[in-house]
Amino acid sequence: MNKRRSVEEIVAEINYDESKIPEYSIPPLLVKNDGSAVENSWDWMNFRRAEILNFYREEVFGDAPLLPEQMSREVLTVRHDALGGKAIRKEIRLTFTHQGHSRSWTMLLYIPVNASGKVPVVLGLNFKGNHASAGEDDVLITGLDLAGNPVSDERGCQSHRWPFEAIIDRGFAAATVCYHDIYPDFSGEDALRKSIYGLVYPQMSAADIHRKHSAIGAWAWGLSRMLDALGSEEHIDTDRAMVTGHSRLGKTALWAGAVDLRFKVVVSNDSGHGGAALFRRCIGENAEVLVTVFPHWFVSGFDKYAGKDADLPFDQHFLLSLIAPRTLCIGSATKDLWADPKGEFLAGVHASEVYWLFGVRGMPVSEHPAPDVNVTGEISYHLRTGEHEILLQDWEHYLDAAGKIFDRK
C-alpha cells in the first residue's frame, strides 16, 4: 500500500450494517495450490495444511525467531497457600541468552494444591502484567513499557480476566506472562529492539526483521516457550494444554495453536480481524485499520491487503483450519461489533469442512446462536451478552470444552 490514510479517515468509513456486506464467495480450503482437491485427512495434514501455514508465515504473522543460544528457568518465589490455600503459586523467570545478551520474562503459575498426579494446564499472555492479572497483592510486578515503567501499577486491575480460583477449582493449572516482556506492544524500532527479535538478530535492520517477523509471531512463540518451561513441572501434563487469549491475544492464541500442535485446545476470545473474523464481510474493523494502527502485529508485506478485504485470496477460516481436528473455542460478545461476532462464527463454520475430513463435525450448528447459548463441539462457540471483554462466563464455556477432552468437570 503506497498512500496511507489517517485512522480517522478509515474509521469514518467503517461499516456496521449487515445489509451493506458485499456479495462474497469463500476461498476454498480443500483445493491445493496446484488446483487438485484435498482427498482426505492425510492429504490435508501433509500438503494443504502446509501450504496454508506457509502462506501465513510469509504473508501474515511471519517466521518464529531464531532459537536463542540458551534458555534457562529459575524459580523466583513459591507459595503453598495461594488462593486461600487452594493453590501452589510459583513465579518462574525464563531467561533467553544470545551472544552475551539476554531477555527475561516472569511466568506466574498456579497449580491446584490437591493435584494427585498431573493436571492439565491453561496458558495465555496478559496485557498489563502478572500483578495486574492476579488478585493477590504480593505478585511480582511484570510488564514494562518502553521507558521501563510498569504498564500498569494498579494491582489486580485485570483480575476479572483471570479467574484463577475458578480454573483451579476445575482441576486445571494456569500460567501467564505479560506480552510486553516478549515484544513490547508498540510500533517502531525501539520496541522491536527490546523484543526477542532484537536479541537474536542484533545486526539485522529493523526493516529486514519486520519483513519476516511480527509481534504476534513473537507472542505466539512465547506461548510455546512457556509450554516448554511447564514441561519441567512435576504436576503439569503438557499433553493437556489449552492456549487462550483475548482480542489481540486471541489472534495470538490462534497463531500459537496453528504453529504448535502441542496445544490441544485453542481459545479465541473476541479475536476479531486478523483473528477469527472473516475479512470479506467488510463489517467492523478491516485490514487497513490493522496495518495503520498496529503495523508491528503483522509482517510488513501484510499491508498490501489493506483496502482489499472483500477479495482477499485467503480468509480467516484458513487460520482456523490449521487447528483441525483439535478443539477450538470461539467466543464473541454482542456489543463487540468492531470484532464482527457473526464473522467469527462463520469462519468457524467454514473451517468445519476440514474437521469433516477427520470424521468429526467441527462447529455443531450453522446458524449464529442466540446470545448466551453455548454450542459445544470440536469447534465451540458462544456469543456472550455484553462488551469486548473476557469474563468468567467465557472461561466457563472454554473450561467445559477443554474438560471434555482433558477429563475434568
Which residues carry out catalysis?
Answer: 247, 388
Of 32, 269, 240, whose CA–CA distance to 161 is shortest? Answer: 269
Question: Residue 282 Cβ, how far from ligand GCU at the closest point, in Å?
Answer: 15
CA dist., res. 225 & res. 93, Å (int): 12
Give yes or no for a contact between 347 and 341, defined as CB atoms under 8 angstroms apart: no
CA dist., res. 239 & res. 11, Å (int): 43
List the x/- string, 208-247, binding to ligand GCU by CB under 6 A.
Answer: ---------------------------------------x
Give the nearer residue to ligand GCU in terms of CB position, either 96 or 219.
219
Question: Residue 274 Cβ, how far from ligand GCU at the closest point, in Å?
Answer: 6
- Contacts with ligand GCU in 294-323 (CB under 6 A)? none
CA dist., res. 327 & res. 267, Å (int): 9
* 160 Cβ contact partners less than 8 Å away, ≥ 6 residues apart: 389, 391, 392
Give the nearer residue to ligand GCU in terms of CB position, either 284 or 325.
284
* Cell of residue 339, nine digits: 470484532
Give the nearer residue to ligand GCU in terms of CB position, either 87 or 256.
256
Of 379, 382, 371, whose CA–CA distance to 350 is shortest? Answer: 379
Question: Residue 168 Cβ, how far from ligand GCU at the closest point, in Å?
Answer: 26
* 19 Cβ contact partners less than 8 Å away, ≥ 6 residues apart: none
Query: C-alpha distances in angstroms, 242 versus 51, 81, 89, 262?
Result: 25, 25, 19, 9
Question: With contacts defined by CB under 6 A, how many residues of the chain interact with ligand GCU?
Answer: 7
Strand pairing of 263-269 and 236-244?
Answer: parallel
Give the nearer residue to ligand GCU in terms of CB position, either 106 or 247.
247
Q: Is 248 in the site for ligand GCU (CB under 6 A)?
A: yes
Of 254, 257, 227, whose CA–CA distance to 239 is shortest? Answer: 227
Among 68, 163, 217, 272, binds ligand GCU (CB under 6 A): 272
List the x/- string, 321-360, binding to ligand GCU by CB under 6 A.
Answer: -----------------x----------------------
Of 307, 314, 312, whose CA–CA distance to 3 is shortest? Answer: 307
Question: Residue 215 Cβ, how far from ligand GCU at the closest point, in Å?
Answer: 11
How many residues belong to the chain?
409
* Cell of residue 389, nine digits: 471483554
Question: Residue 96 Cβ, how far from ligand GCU at the closest point, in Å?
Answer: 25
Give the nearer residue to ligand GCU in terms of CB position, either 161 or 350.
161
CA dist., res. 120 & res. 243, Å (int): 11
Question: Residue 185 Cβ, how far from ligand GCU at the closest point, in Å?
Answer: 9
Question: Residue 21 Cβ, how far from ligand GCU at the closest point, in Å?
Answer: 19
Half-sphere exposure (CA, 13 Å, Cβ side) for 299?
20
Give the nearer residue to ligand GCU in terms of CB position, either 98 or 273.
273
Give the DSSP H/E element, type plus range, for residue 56: helix 49-59
CA dist., res. 76 & res. 78, Å (int): 7
CA dist., res. 269 & res. 387, Å (int): 12
Binding site for ligand GCU (CB under 6 A): 247-248, 272-273, 285, 289, 338
